[in-house]
Amino acid sequence: MRVLLADDHPLFRDGVRSLLQARGVEIVGEAGDGQEALEEALRLRPDVILMDISMPRMDGLEATRLIKARLPEVKIVILTVSDEDRTLFEAVKSGAQGYLLKDLQADEFFALLSGVERGEAPISRSLAGRILEEFARRRGDRPEGEAGELTEREQEVLRTVSSGASNREVAAALHISENTVKFHMKNILDKLHLRNRAEVVAYAARKGLLPPATTPGAGDPAIP
């Protein structure tokens, strides 16, 4: 995994770089503000960008929007101190694949980040629930689909994904391939007018499709 670090605090970048390099992650570049992050992303084309929000010249949210418009394949994970609803919502709306807080323990941070390569979204369930509650309040111009529009297999995938399973775990549980899981997930997103995996979990919670133990916020494990 080739990672670009974007944060305006050099000491923090040093710490994250050392942590990731010790785990075998390649750090291809660093940026001290959003404008530099955009320029370095276009030059280096990393796999993942760890993006702070509050930075000079251009903040991380604007940089995320511009980078995703030019390089949609690059995965951007917000790494910040802010857990405000506004920034959570704007980060996902801007195209971020994940949202992590800087007070994470090192092992938890690395475990969540490692899931990005498998298509998982490093967002805690409590944060995801808040993001999608905000989506629900603002989605008036985008009608939500109904689970009844899904095939029986798609509903099985929806329930299994929403319980916190990764694509690999869904495939094993339903005895299908990971590529088939991805195909069903694309159909689920299209039919329900959802944007990403985090929205699927919140949708399932709102519709009562999750068992109580897996409702967002219970135990606060990561959403894949």
Q: Are residues 98 and 43 in the same domain?
A: yes
Can you give the pLDDT at residue 106?
86
Q: pLDDT tens, 137-194?
A: 555 444 555 655 788 888 888 888 887 788 889 999 998 888 888 888 888 888 888 8
Domain span at residue 38 reads 2-118
Q: How far is residue 18's CA from residue 25's CA, in Å, rounded to a whole number?
A: 10
Whether 131 is in a domain gets the answer no
Q: Are residues 15 and 47 in the same domain?
A: yes
Whether 104 is in a domain gets the answer yes
Q: Are residues 104 and 180 in the same domain?
A: no
Q: How far is residue 92's CA from residue 90's CA, in Å, rounded to a whole number?
A: 6
Q: Are residues 6 and 114 in the same domain?
A: yes
- The per-residue DSSP string of 3-57 comes to EEEE-S-HHHHHHHHHHHHHTT-EEEEEESSHHHHHHHHHHH--SEEEE-SS-SS
From the number of C-beta atoms within 10 Å of its C-beta (0-12, 13-18, 19+), residue 71 rates as middle
Can you give the pLDDT at residue 82?
80
Q: Write the DSSP symbol of residue 59.
A: -
Residue 17 belongs to domain with CATH number: 3.40.50.2300
> Is pLDDT of 129 > 70?
no
Q: pLDDT tens, 41-100?
A: 999 999 999 999 999 989 999 999 999 999 989 999 999 888 777 788 788 888 888 888
Q: Are residues 97 and 194 in the same domain?
A: no
Q: pLDDT tens, 101-116?
A: 888 888 888 888 888 8
Residue 6, strand partner residues: 31, 51
Q: Are residues 99 and 48 in the same domain?
A: yes
Q: Are residues 99 and 18 in the same domain?
A: yes
Number of domains in the chain: 2
> Is pLDDT of 220 > 50?
no
Can you give the pLDDT at residue 123?
77
Residue 216 belongs to domain with CATH number: 1.10.10.10
From the number of C-beta atoms within 10 Å of its C-beta (0-12, 13-18, 19+), residue 170 rates as buried
